[in-house]
Amino acid sequence: MYLIYKLIYIIECEYMRLDYPSRHTERIGAVSIHELQKIYELDSGEMPRTSAHNHEQSTRAYSYQELSSIFRELAIVIPLKNEKIGLLEGVLSGIPNECLIIIVSNSERAPVDRFSMEVEMIRQYSQFADKKIMVIHQKDNELAKIFKKVKYTSILDSKSHIRNGKAEGMVIGILLAKMQKKKYIGFIDSDNYFPGAVNEYVKIFAVGFKMATTPYSNVRVSWRSKPKIVNNKLQFPKWGRISEYSNKYLNALISNITGYESEIISTGNAGEHALSMTLAENLNYSSGYSVEPYEFINILEKFGGLLPTDSSNIIEKGIEIFQIESRNPHFHEEKGADHLTGMMQASLLAINNSKICNIELTKEIKNHLLMLQIKQNYKSPKINLQKRHHIMDPIKVISIEDFADLVIKNSKTFLKI
């Protein structure tokens, strides 16, 4: 009986259908950046199927089995800081069961212990859903000591505490995923309102890794729309303002390198993105919110053939960047104008400070940053245009066995639920 069920399941499994990645690809050194790929069917039904149209020529469907084989090797890292508890539960519900979930929280411990509330919610949730969830707190003193011990000090501040920042949380998440020998890591923000969108993001990650022809791959989600309420009406603009500009400047950078005008980049600030572990452990990470555009920059710096490199084995295999457009709208918690300005500054500085950024573009970005400052009526501290973002070392320098051993023995907040 079980076998019959299993067989029916295999025949009737769902598929996700999207463009081939090969429509247009920009190559810079060893890096292939694929043009935005569109999803045609979130579920294209059972296969094979006879049809008047031969969709297989222009699109490809991926079966649940294919996606599931990736989910099993995929850890979803959720950076979390003082978000509404209900939002996090929704995000958890959207993640396919096979994935390992790693929550890195930087939520406050006092006067209200929000971290304990999060752990309590996850424990309760786990009574109803059989998920594999790991949790750790970014400000765990023992974790900071462990980083010192394994000589990974670029994540620490001058007082040897782990710095605040989403990127810092991501790095901790990557390390926990490596401890569990996961092959892929995807990042999903904890303030996503729609569990259905979360579910689609994870499927997009899996499809991207399934398409990859190299072990070194990056999958980035582009939102089809970001709904906003303007004058009491719901609107669906495609870009947020930050994405608009970081994409513009990243494309200007690519155009300058190749000599041809390019619009290939549409995911400069994709908060939802994924990396193969082999690529993730080789990258530097830029502190806080500049992490997403810097990922692009760092991949080009390291493998774009523009600067000297010590990664000839990776260059030989090549790096692939996939950009896939989600069908679900992206709807997250609005954090206010100051948050957006800070993020814009961080993103622009990450591009501007790179050695591969040409002089004309530097001038343009600096003017943009000055304009931002004027608009703010000089309320906020002056932007230091020379300021380099704090850059963290690649995590491959850490002995993962030592790290794992110490975390399991010493960390006060590391939990497997």
The amino acid that residue 29 corresponds to is G
For residue 111, is the peptide bond before it cis, meaning its omega torsion is within 30 degrees of 0?
A: yes
Contacted entry of ligand GDP, Co ion, none for residue 79, CB cut-off 5 to 8 Å set by kind? ligand GDP
Size of the site for Co ion (CB under 5 A): 3
Least distance between ligand GDP and beta carbon 134 (Å): 13
Contact 365, 348 (CB under 8 A): yes
Measured from the CB atom, the residue of 46 and 333 that comes closer to ligand GDP is 333
Contacted entry of Co ion, ligand GDP, none for residue 138, CB cut-off 5 to 8 Å set by kind? ligand GDP
**Rounded CA separation 77/345 (Å):** 25
Least distance between Co ion and beta carbon 330 (Å): 9
Measured from the CB atom, the residue of 160 and 213 that comes closer to ligand GDP is 160
Contacted entry of ligand GDP, Co ion, none for residue 106, CB cut-off 5 to 8 Å set by kind? ligand GDP
Measured from the CB atom, the residue of 211 and 221 that comes closer to ligand GDP is 221
The two tokens of residue 73 are: 């090797």
Residue 118 as a binder of Co ion (CB under 5 A): the answer is: no
> Between the CA atoms of 134, 137, 142 and 147, what dihedral angle is there, to the nearest 10 degrees?
80
Contacted entry of Co ion, ligand GDP, none for residue 140, CB cut-off 5 to 8 Å set by kind? none
Contacted entry of Co ion, ligand GDP, none for residue 104, CB cut-off 5 to 8 Å set by kind? ligand GDP
Residue ranges of E strands in 8-64: 15-19, 25-28, 31-34, 37-41, 59-63
Is residue 216 classed exposed, middle or buried when 0-12, 13-18 and 19+ CB atoms within 10 A define those classes? buried
Least distance between ligand GDP and beta carbon 120 (Å): 18
Measured from the CB atom, the residue of 166 and 178 that comes closer to ligand GDP is 166
Q: Which of 78, 80, 79, 83 is nearest to 333 (CA)?
A: 83
Measured from the CB atom, the residue of 80 and 250 that comes closer to Co ion is 80
294 contacts: CB under 8 Å, gap ≥ 6? 284, 285, 286, 350, 389
Least distance between ligand GDP and beta carbon 146 (Å): 17
Least distance between ligand GDP and beta carbon 202 (Å): 15
DSSP conformation class of 139: T
**Rounded CA separation 95/104 (Å):** 16
Measured from the CB atom, the residue of 12 and 334 that comes closer to Co ion is 334
**Rounded CA separation 184/2 (Å):** 31
Contacted entry of Co ion, ligand GDP, none for residue 410, CB cut-off 5 to 8 Å set by kind? none
Measured from the CB atom, the residue of 178 and 332 that comes closer to Co ion is 332
Contact 295, 302 (CB under 8 A): no
Q: Which residues bind ligand GDP (CB under 6 A)?
A: 79-81, 83, 104-106, 138, 164-166, 169, 189-191, 271, 332-333, 335
Least distance between ligand GDP and beta carbon 191 (Å): 5
Residue 163 as a binder of Co ion (CB under 5 A): the answer is: no
Contacted entry of Co ion, ligand GDP, none for residue 165, CB cut-off 5 to 8 Å set by kind? ligand GDP
**Rounded CA separation 18/37 (Å):** 7
Q: Which of 273, 219, 265 is nearest to 246 (CA)?
A: 265
- Alpha carbons within 13 angstroms on the beta-carbon side of residue 159 total 5
Furthest C-alpha separation in the chain:
72
Q: What residues are paired with 79 via a beta bridge?
A: 104
Contact 196, 95 (CB under 8 A): no
**Rounded CA separation 237/288 (Å):** 26
Measured from the CB atom, the residue of 30 and 219 that comes closer to ligand GDP is 219
Range 165-204, binding Co ion (CB under 5 A): 189, 191
Contacted entry of ligand GDP, Co ion, none for residue 182, CB cut-off 5 to 8 Å set by kind? none
Contacted entry of ligand GDP, Co ion, none for residue 324, CB cut-off 5 to 8 Å set by kind? none
Q: In the complex, which residue's CB is closest to Co ion?
A: 332
Measured from the CB atom, the residue of 314 and 343 that comes closer to ligand GDP is 343
Residue 332 as a binder of Co ion (CB under 5 A): the answer is: yes
Contact 204, 219 (CB under 8 A): yes
Least distance between ligand GDP and beta carbon 189 (Å): 4
Q: Which residues bind Co ion (CB under 5 A)?
A: 189, 191, 332
